[in-house]
Structure 1
Amino acid sequence: MTASHDSAPIDLAPFERLRTDLRGTLLLPGDEGYDAARAPWNLSVEQRPAAIAEPADVDDVRAIVLAAREAGLGVTTQPNGHGASDGLDGVVLVRPRRLDELHVDAEARVLRAGAGVNWGRALAALDGTGLIGLAGSNPEVSVVALAIAGGQSMFSRRYGLTARSIIAVEMVDAAGEVRRVTDADDGELLWALRGGGGLFGVITAIELALHPGDTLYGGGLVFPAESATEVLSAAFALARDEPELGLDIGMMRFPDAPVFPPHLRGRVVATVGLVHVGDEVTGQAFADRLLAVAEPIANALTAFTIGQLAAVAAEPVDPMPTADFGAAVGPLDQAFARDFAEAFVRGADRGLTRCSIRAMGGAIADELGAELSVIGAVHAPGLLSSGALLLDPSVDPEAALAPLRELAARYPAEGMVPSFLGMQTSLADAYGPEVLERLEAVKHRLDPEGLIRSNRPLR
């Protein structure tokens, strides 16, 4: 059997043979279920891989990698499809959902998760331990994917970026060899995996350090757009004064849809997400600084457990078509707050849906141990993340995002986390030339033929 790749045939015979031996599943173009399996989380990305494999174990992963090598194809991994950005022409797509091992060692403060484990399940397993993992705000994101892409958590200002909490990575390399990577046996490779993404092998499991957090308080506040500049300014000031407090500060336009309350449909609002590792009284005192500025439309602040983090963040989890843009920005002062609010309103008139600034600083900028990870110490004051929903075909995504691109150009900052980069970006948009050269050296040592493809390439 052959398939087309840039007008040249692809020999899929190795996969036809593999199909009978695999404990997991393998789908080729034309198979029932192929179209559903190839869809990423961002439905605006059209990807048509040469094959889609769902391994049942590490031996399956080895067999898939070796079959791809024999067929002259690349290999990329997408647990759920977050971060997908191209068509995957001539690439085998690995969905590691059945690699679902999960173990919490509370005494050692270590989380071990298979590549198919999402943060929602991992955090639920931490309930009652008094420990927290450096999760993102979306429960459907893979533990592995967030960590190797940098991973800015609402706990990161207290405990650092997720990538720097990686203790060990287990993977199958481009030669089909199974590796357990630690600082002791290959510190240079683990340095690259701490923020360099999926360039170096098919990861099967990861081990992350856990941190104390038996009492948590936080949630979301929503304010009318008329108070946006004042609220944003107050939130930025709070971020400067409290470097361990998790803050996500932004604006959004609610879609005019029945799923939302009538008083919010189609409305532009300012939003502040707050997460405090500590008691309710202290956390509420932080929030009171914002509540003194304006009356909120909605107040969802509450004491919560680590397993309830997703409900506190309340991010959408269903696949949808979007266009996004991310950038490092600063300084986060009153002038920026004013210009940010104005830029968002202009973008919202063109279809922009949301934009937030994740406050940085605190442990994120800690130089101690920074040399052990490619992500290092990040000194940008804030990371901008934005998106335009593309449900309406009349929305021009470039026009919707243009005001925020202009804003980022006026307020540039050094340092970026790859997980905050938008579509059609590479690691060159996050790291400087010397870091890229060092990453390339690791890539050449592990995979000189470029068999393993990342959802975010080096350049």
Structure 2
Amino acid sequence: MQTTSSIDDLRTGLSGSLFLPDDDGYDEARLAWNLAVDQRPAAVAVPADVPDVQQIVRTAAASGLGVLTQPNGHAAARDLSGIVLVRPHAFDEISIDAEHRTARVGAGVNWGRVLQQLKGTGLIALAGSNPEVNTVGYSLDGGHSMFGRAYGLQAPAITAVELVDASGEFRRVTDDSDPELLWALRGAGGLFGVVTAIEFSLFEGDELYGGALLFPADRAADLLTAVFEVAAAEPALGLSFGMMNFPDAPGLPEPLRGKTLASVAALHVGDAASGASRIAALRSVGAPVADTFRAFGIEDLAAVAAEPTDPMGFEDWSSATSGYDAQSAAGLVQAFHDASAQGLSRLEVRPFGGALVGGDRSHAIAAHVAAPAYLGASVFAPPASALGETSAAFAPLASAVATTPATGNVATLMDHRATLADAYDEESIARLRALKSERDPGGVIRAARELP
């Protein structure tokens, strides 16, 4: 098998670009969003159009190579040797049909651009809070947002997917044309082709209210308890609890610099008055260090969330959890402090529930979330050699979450150690395996989230 020759030949046939390990530009093209990941694919392809994608897939298959799509480098961690990495930057279309409440988005488009296009429509997409996250990748992997408790995950909102399949054929997949494949694409989409565009439903959201409250660390356990009490009382309110060790860095404002703080973020689909009443119990926890709640439009979602938007190095850990009362909240907060001594930077807990539990699994593999809540944590800026060697920082959290066990998760939230079996039940995994064996028996198409 003439692998090198075939890939070299591919370069001359593409309208786009191809980078091999010895080429200028390869090191930049292969970068992951997580700068602690040193991924080295067999080649990086930047197709200009659908025929380019077809040629990439067919050449890779003939050469014994896999194909993995990674728009911005998120969810990177698996070994990419023997894999052609596809960057679909050229697929940059966006169209909004406000009358029919649908959007069409190319595989190279990030959420920030989509949210700007929704300005003034009175409609929202079930977008992630970071504007630099790719719309298509997020959607295909489930897509949990602060709108999830009101409207569910993003994946079930997908109405059509255009892709090049493992045989190199271009296909438009809908519920009418191929319901079984669309079921799988709604949550495990990276396994079945190089997606070039998706279409999805939009939702009502003319008025939005949200922001964050920051408290001293000694209020953390009471705040976490209150978050789950409010979650039970307000099933449509988006909620996220966090703890953060802020560095003593000159660029940070004084209330944050060198401090450990607890926080709660919330998002309400509705006006400011009704939103403020729904978070009153959170404000009663104590005097906040900061309060950023305000009314806003969908185009300002990223500014309200205020997440970092630049690549950085980190190591993540995640788990499902059954939720928190006063006793278990105190245990988790203590675990955070114990883990901080080992280098832990941040902790996040997101209650699920609401619309996330009621979806029809026959419509989408990611139709609903079984677990009551998600727990995630990060070590920021570990040295490149330390990826995967930060287990000491996560051990206290693993012990704590063992007292609040749960199963099921959302693929977009899981760390790189997880497989799709951590998100979906055995019946769904078996159905996925059967479909993968039928549609891609050679295993040409690879995904960040693997089948176990």
Q: 2:44 aligned with 1:52, yes or no? A: yes
Correspondent of 1:384 among 365, 375, 382 = 375
SS at match of 1:97: coil
Q: Is the 8 A contact 1:74 1:92 kept in 2?
A: yes
**Aligned match of 1:311:** 303
Q: Is the 8 A contact 1:148 1:193 kept in 2?
A: yes
**Aligned match of 1:412:** 405
Give the 5 Å matches for 1:54-453: 54-367=46-359, 369-391=360-382, 397-453=390-446
- Report the AA paired with residue 405 of structure 1: A
Deviation at 1:70, TM superposition (A): 2.0
Q: Distance in 1 between matches of 2:415 and 2:209?
A: 30
Deviations 1:103-162 (A, max 9, x none): 101111111100101111111111110000001111111111111111111001111111
Q: Is the 8 A contact 1:118 1:142 kept in 2?
A: yes
% identical equivalent positions:
51
Q: Is the 8 A contact 1:347 1:404 kept in 2?
A: yes
Q: Distance in 1 between matches of 2:384 and 2:42?
A: 29
Cα distance change on mapping 1:257 and 1:98 into 2, 3 Å? same
CA RMSD of superposed structures (Å) = 1.5
Deviation at 1:11, TM superposition (A): 2.0
Deviation at 1:390, TM superposition (A): 2.8
Deviation at 1:260, TM superposition (A): 1.0
Q: Distance in 2 between matches of 1:385 and 1:99?
A: 32
SS at match of 2:286: coil
Q: Which runs of 5+ in 1 are unaligned?
A: 1-8
Q: Distance in 2 between matches of 1:433 and 1:380?
A: 15
Q: Distance in 1 between matches of 2:89 and 2:126?
A: 21
**Aligned match of 1:3:** none
Q: Distance in 1 between matches of 2:121 and 2:248?
A: 41
Using the TM superposition, name which of 254-263 and 158-167 deviates more.
254-263
Deviation at 1:268, TM superposition (A): 1.0
Deviation at 1:224, TM superposition (A): 0.3
- Report the AA paired with residue 24 of structure 1: G
Q: Is the 8 A contact 1:323 1:387 kept in 2?
A: yes
- Report the AA paired with residue 178 of structure 1: F
Q: How many residues align?
A: 450
Q: Distance in 1 between matches of 2:298 and 2:30?
A: 32
Q: Is the 8 A contact 1:46 1:87 kept in 2?
A: no
Q: Distance in 1 between matches of 2:54 and 2:147?
A: 35
- Report the AA paired with residue 300 of structure 1: T
- Report the AA paired with residue 323 of structure 1: E
Using the TM superposition, name which of 199-208 and 248-257 deviates more.
248-257
Deviation at 1:267, TM superposition (A): 1.3
Using the TM superposition, name which of 127-136 and 369-378 deviates more.
369-378
Q: Is the 8 A contact 1:332 1:381 kept in 2?
A: no
Q: Distance in 1 between matches of 2:35 and 2:2?
A: 26
Deviations 1:349-387 (A, max 9, x none): 2111111111111110114x3321112322322111211
SS at match of 1:235: helix
Q: Distance in 1 between matches of 2:258 and 2:342?
A: 13
With the length of structure 1 as denominator, give the TM-score of the two structures.
Answer: 0.95
Deviation at 1:392, TM superposition (A): 6.0
Q: 2:16 aligned with 1:24, yes or no? A: yes
Q: Distance in 2 between matches of 1:392 and 1:184?
A: 49
Q: Distance in 2 between matches of 1:28 and 1:375?
A: 36
Deviation at 1:394, TM superposition (A): 11
- Report the AA paired with residue 376 of structure 2: S
- Report the AA paired with residue 455 of structure 1: A
Q: Is the 8 A contact 1:173 1:200 kept in 2?
A: yes
Q: Is the 8 A contact 1:216 1:280 kept in 2?
A: yes
- Report the AA paired with residue 329 of structure 1: T
- Report the AA paired with residue 357 of structure 1: V
Deviations 1:14-54 (A, max 9, x none): 23222223121111111111001111011121111011001
With the length of structure 2 as denominator, give the TM-score of the two structures.
Answer: 0.96
Deviation at 1:337, TM superposition (A): 1.6
Q: Which runs of 5+ in 2 are unaligned?
A: none
- Report the AA paired with residue 416 of structure 1: N
